Chain A
């Protein structure tokens, strides 16, 4: 679809003007290129290997069921002898996705694994094609970061026919564990919501009015982070009232615009729960613009990006619940054990860190 518009010109070619315009655009892009690369290497915060950044499993939250090679079918393998395919769901345009892909790529490099990758750019049909392509390119192990939980049956059947083990990361696939896929490694989004509520209760001493900046509508991350938050607030802090819930679409712009409206209609709001860091940072900009002081409104967010944790240090954000995207080490570890015939848990829930004023400065290097 992304052809140069020039190519769609079917008749009466009078290319001089168009060509000049296109050339100018390309020229501008080229002169700017050297600068982007420099900038990018400067703030290369991603990566999976850093000390203390790795994901840690939460033994208590994990399911009891396990999966072995015998139950799943297929032959044992050594990771260094097989080709591994990784299918990313969304464009690497936010810190979470960048760090996630980087973590998988780095870990593969470290282990000397032959890795092929694809990115579906938030198009589910594309992701199905991607996974089929990865298989046709000879992937014998698949790591999938699924865009949706449903709609995977045809591909899973195809993979099962060839006994290709599948590991899903960050979102689950609806199917039967150890039949449709080997294991799911991810965060517990409901738990993230509960922990955000704990931070909010702490910040407000259990008393006050709170606004929620929701993520994109119809997304399980949004629903689960809302569910956990509401549940915990209702159970633990009857003095806190959720008076406002609007979507900021997980973007900074959305968080800023909605918060600008919010402070006009609810000037006495005590707390804002932003379901990701970007919206939380947008809220900070909005509050700043409306003349609020840092700390006047307690903001709690989820993700753990460097910029958000820095805002805790500066006093604008009260707390950040981490959602750790560094899936590389655990995913390859699971694949290795599975290939060696060992038992692998079918639901591996990771422990997410939390940042608050007491540890933000010290833990800042762990943020992504």
Chain B
């Protein structure tokens, strides 16, 4: 191989690597630019608030998903865990809003811990374990709260639709979760371990890392974050609706993570990229709705984005 062709290949790898890491920002910039030019009323504080509020649950779910995917796993049960948390908010509302929210978060964490235990200890594949939880979790939520129940609580209502300093509460919470996950990933031992487990589980085990404990914690965290999103959605809707809350959100979340530069094979996690990926998913849906395009286009557009992202990641993986 000549020196020139080696150089060309190095350049190509760099380009791919750059695209995987920063492509999502280009995507967000492009879709924002498109809307600024072609969508009436896009540049307004009110519109930004709507997009941020609608993106918040996707961002929060995607954060948990990013951690799980970084360990080489996947969590299909996030939507069902949202439904479970919504159900428990409604069931425990009689004890006050704070108790009901705490119980809902606890239930999410427990569901995540069950996933984590089976994945980490029994060694069953994550896709199977979380698929079972996806079905059983929504089933249980529907048994507990069979039909939509209105939530008439001033505090929860304020949380769902109110703002402080001009920024909606749910957006503050999402930002707090982003900060928390960034801190975990960048500053803690746990953050380094989860990436090590995803990179090479065998090597991590051999070097004495607490692989099982790390996995258990990652899935628990993912469940708890999904529950946060469930509480957000319930507060915004002013109703607990286990039948439709979080339906298909796993797809948006996985897409956000992959588009954001975290490879499905694990070993690496991009938190900021994931947030940008979730925002991209939200803006994609919003743009198609605002331009009154058929809803089936949304699914096709989402699919196109995920295929493009996986393609970029694959090219890089091979080289």
Residue positions of A touching B, CB distance < 8 A: 1-6, 8-14, 17-18, 21-22, 24-25, 28-29, 32, 35-36, 39, 91-95, 98, 214, 217, 243-247, 249, 251-254, 256-258, 260-262, 264-265, 267, 278, 282, 285, 289-290, 307
- Complex Cα distance, B113 from A36, in Å, reads 26
22 sample A-B contacts, Cβ–Cβ < 8 Å, listed by A number: A5-B118, A6-B114, A8-B118, A9-B118, A9-B122, A9-B124, A11-B122, A11-B123, A12-B123, A21-B113, A25-B110, A25-B111, A28-B103, A28-B110, A94-B147, A214-B295, A244-B292, A245-B292, A253-B245, A254-B244, A264-B50, A290-B50
Do residues A13 and B122 form an inter-chain contact, with CB atoms below 8 A? yes
Could you tell me how many residues of chain B have their Cβ less than 8 Å away from some Cβ of chain A?
62
B263 to chain A, nearest CB (A): 27
Q: Helix, strand, loop or mixed for chain A's interface? A: helix
Complex Cα spacing A161 to B53, Å: 58
Known: A32-B92, A264-B290, A265-B40. A247 touches B144 (CB 8 A): no
Query: Is B289 positioned at the interface, with any CB of A under 8 Å from its CB?
Result: yes
Partner of A14, one of B40, B121, B145, B296: B121
Across the interface, do B290 and A261 meet the contact criterion of CB distance under 8 Å?
yes
> How far does the alpha carbon of A93 sit from the alpha carbon of B243 in the complex, in Å?
7
For B148, list chain A residues within 8 Å (CB).
Answer: 93-94, 252, 278
Task: Name the B residues within 8 Å of A243 (CB-CB).
Answer: 292
Inter-subunit contact A21/B50 (CB<8 Å)? no
Query: How far is it, in angstroms, between the C-alpha of A28 and the C-alpha of B110 when the chains are bound?
Result: 11
Given contacts A10-B124, A249-B244, contact A5 B136 (CB under 8 A): yes
Given contacts A25-B110, A246-B295, is CB(A261)–CB(B289) below 8 Å? yes
Contact A264 B91 (CB under 8 A): no
A22 and B114 contacting across the interface, CB-CB below 8 Å: yes
Residue pair A247, B295 in contact (C-beta under 8 Å): yes
B161 touches A289 (CB 8 A): yes
**Interchain CA distance A35-B128 in the complex, whole Å:** 33
**Contact assessment for B161 and A265 in the assembled complex, using a CB-CB cutoff below 8 Å:** no
Find chain B residues with CB under 8 A from A9 CB: 118, 122, 124
Residue pair A264, B47 in contact (C-beta under 8 Å): yes
Q: How far is the CA of A335 from the CA of B17 in the complex (A)?
A: 70
Pairwise interchain contact A260-B54, C-beta atoms closer than 8 A: yes
Residues in A with CB closer than 8 Å to B88 are 28, 32
B121 near A18 with CB under 8 A, answer yes
Give a binary string over B90-123; 1 marks a CB under 8 Å from any A CB, 0 the rest. Answer: 0110100000000100110011011101100111
Q: Counting CB contacts under 8 A, is B286 at the interface?
A: yes
The distance from the CB of A92 to the nearest CB of chain B, in whole angstroms, is 6
Is there an interface contact between B107 and A25, defined as CB atoms closer than 8 Å? Answer: yes
Which residues of the other chain, A, contact B242 by a CB distance below 8 angstroms?
93
Pairwise interchain contact B92-A8, C-beta atoms closer than 8 A:
no
The answer to the question of B156 belonging to the interface, with a C-beta cut-off of 8 Å to chain A, is: no
Determine if A256 and B147 form an interchain contact, defined as CB atoms under 8 angstroms apart. no
State whether B91 touches A5 (Cβ < 8 A): no
* Bound Cα distance from A91 to B242, whole angstroms: 12
Contact status A2-B135, CB under 8 Å: yes
Residues of A within 8 Å of B103, CB to CB, are 28
Report B134 CB to chain A, min CB distance, Å. Answer: 10
In angstroms, Cα B149 to Cα A36, docked, is: 11
* One of B198-206, B232-240, B250-258, B309-317 contacting the partner: B232-240
A293 to B2, CA, bound (A): 72
Q: Report how far A8 CA is from B161 CA in the complex, Å.
A: 42
Which one of B53, B122, B233 lies within 8 Å of A10 (CB-CB)?
A: B122
Using CB atoms, name the residue of chain A closest to B136. A2
Q: Is A252 a contact partner of B135 (Cβ separation < 8 A)?
A: no
Chain B contacts for A21, CB-based, 8 A:
110, 113-114, 117
- Is A246's CB under 8 angstroms from B132's CB? no
* A32 with B91: CB separation less than 8 A: yes
Q: Quick one: which of B94, B237, B241 contacts A35, CB cutoff 8 A?
A: B94
Residues of B within 8 A of A278 (CB): 148
How far is B134's CA from A3's CA once the two chains are assembled, in angstroms? Answer: 11
State whether A260 touches B50 (Cβ < 8 A): yes
Give the residues from 117 to 155 in chain B that come closer than 8 angstroms, CB to CB, to chain A: 117-118, 121-124, 128-129, 132-133, 135-136, 139-140, 142, 144-150
In the complex the two chains form, is B121's CB within 8 Å of A12's CB? yes
Given A39-B149, A260-B50, 13 other A-B contacts at CB below 8 A?
A1-B135, A9-B124, A17-B121, A32-B91, A32-B144, A35-B91, A35-B94, A93-B147, A98-B146, A252-B244, A261-B286, A264-B42, A264-B290
A10: B residues at CB distance < 8 A: 122, 124
Q: Is the CB of B149 within 8 A of A253?
A: no
Query: Taking CB as reference atom, which chain B residue is nearest A264?
Result: B47
CA distance in complex: A244, B289 (Å): 9
| Smallest CB gap from B161: residue in A | A289
Q: How far is the CB of A280 from chain B (nearest CB, A)?
A: 13
B118 and A18 within 8 A (CB): yes
Interchain CB contact under 8 A, B136 and A253: no
Interface contact A8-B128, CB-CB below 8 Å: yes
Within the assembled complex, what's the spacing in Å between the Cα atoms of A83 and B292? 51
CA–CA, A25 to B113, complex, Å? 11
- Is A18 in contact with B117, judged by CB distance below 8 angstroms? yes
Contact of B295 among A17, A217, A290 (CB under 8 A): A217
Whole-angstrom distance between the Cβ of A295 and the nearest chain B Cβ: 20
The answer, among A12, A25, A244, A253, for a CB contact under 8 Å with B114, is A25
Residue of A nearest to B139 (CB): A2
Looking at the assembled complex, report how far the CB atom of B206 sits from the nearest CB atom of chain A, in whole angstroms: 19
Q: Does B216 contact A (CB under 8 A)?
A: yes
CB-nearest residue of chain B to A261: B289
| Bound: A22/B115 CA distance, A | 11
B237: chain A residues at CB < 8 Å are 252-253, 256, 282, 285
